[in-house]
């Protein structure tokens, strides 16, 4: 049974919304009546998703397009200012932007890669949250951080910077829930996906055929019998934002992983070797 949410009158800003989970989330909010802000670094992809959101909107509300790099504080400021100037308020902040780059600690450029990942996956979230509080406090708003099950499970495959960034993000979620709830009436939660079919793996340099093989291999091991789709995570975000459905949830780390952690799923040896060759 599908669940229909009504976010009419809400303003939702979703970072990294030009593809994948972010795009699916923006589309779901638009379909549910919200004004949405689509943002990313690629203008063509931002425009494409924004049009899809407008087409899905019951009242054909025009999605706001903002192109920018969230590792740049000025771009973050412009994103927030443009959102509030256009819609007059902000109700929902979904911090979805993030990426992974493989690096073993013995690599010469390990620390630079670590800094790059932390700047995108954590620092941009902290900065945007810091800047958005004054607006979200006026609307008793919601913050959703898109984390990962890799915040909870260590690997030896050269992903330590990514693991660390997401573990830090989970703690930031909890701290902000405790800090922003009593005085500002803002709920803050995290969604931690397992494997989801996006361009996440191919962005690391992995050939699409190998990425598809990994999704197939992992999906067979998941208790639900498949890997996730972006819509699965978008549905979880919408649930958490709904005051009717989840008004008592804040500071929660909501795992949406198809049973990955429960079943202790791991990659087969051949897939691990292929991944290691990227380094």
Q: Catalytic annotation on 104? A: no
Q: Which of 5, 110, 127, 162 is catalytic?
A: 162
Could you tell me the two tokens for 77?
A: 């400021």
Other beta carbons within 10 angstroms of residue 65's beta carbon come to: 20
Phi, psi of 270 (to 5 degrees): -65, -40
Written as one string, the DSSP assignment of 70-87 is TTSHHHHHHHHHHHHHHH
User: 136's torsion region: left (phi>0), alpha (psi -120 to 50) or beta?
Assistant: alpha
Contact 193, 228 (CB under 8 A): yes
Contact 246, 201 (CB under 8 A): no
3-state secondary structure of 212: helix
The residues near 233 (Cβ < 8 Å, ≥ 6 apart) are: 21, 24, 25, 146, 191, 193, 196, 256
Cα 25 to the center of its chain, rounded Å: 9
Distance in angstroms (rounded) separating the CA atoms of residues 88 and 194: 36
Other beta carbons within 10 angstroms of residue 100's beta carbon come to: 22
Contact 169, 125 (CB under 8 A): yes
Element (H, E) at 132: helix 124-136
Which sequence positions are flagged as catalytic?
162
């Amino acid at each position: 049974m599908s669940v229909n949410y009504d976010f009419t009158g809400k303003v939702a800003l979703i970072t990294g919304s030009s593809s994948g989970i972010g795009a699916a989330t923006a589309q779901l909010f638009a379909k549910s009546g919200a004004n949405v802000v689509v943002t990313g670094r690629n203008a063509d992809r931002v425009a494409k998703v924004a049009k899809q959101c407008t087409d899905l909107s019951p009242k054909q509300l025009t999605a706001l397009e903002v192109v920018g790099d969230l590792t740049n504080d000025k771009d973050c400021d412009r994103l927030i200012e443009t959102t509030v100037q256009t819609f007059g308020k902000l109700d929902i902040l979904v911090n979805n932007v993030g990426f992974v780059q493989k690096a073993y600690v013995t690599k010469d450029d390990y620390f630079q890669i670590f800094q790059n990942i932390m700047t995108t996956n954590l620092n941009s979230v902290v900065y945007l949250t810091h800047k958005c509080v004054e607006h979200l406090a006026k609307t008793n708003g919601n913050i959703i951080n898109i984390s990962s099950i890799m915040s909870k499970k260590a690997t030896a495959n050269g992903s330590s910077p990514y693991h660390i960034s997401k573990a830090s993000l989970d703690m930031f979620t909890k701290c902000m829930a405790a800090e922003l709830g009593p005085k500002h009436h803002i709920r803050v939660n995290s969604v931690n996906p397992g494997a989801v079919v996006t361009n996440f793996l191919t962005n690391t340099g992995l050939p699409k055929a190998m990425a598809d093989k990994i999704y197939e291999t992992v999906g067979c091991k998941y208790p639900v019998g498949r890997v996730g789709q972006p819509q699965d995570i978008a549905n979880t975000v919408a649930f958490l934002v709904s005051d009717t459905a989840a008004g008592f949830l804040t500071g929660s780390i909501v795992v949406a992983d198809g049973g990955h952690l429960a079943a202790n799923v791991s990659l087969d040896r051949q897939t691990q070797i292929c991944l290691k060759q990227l380094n």
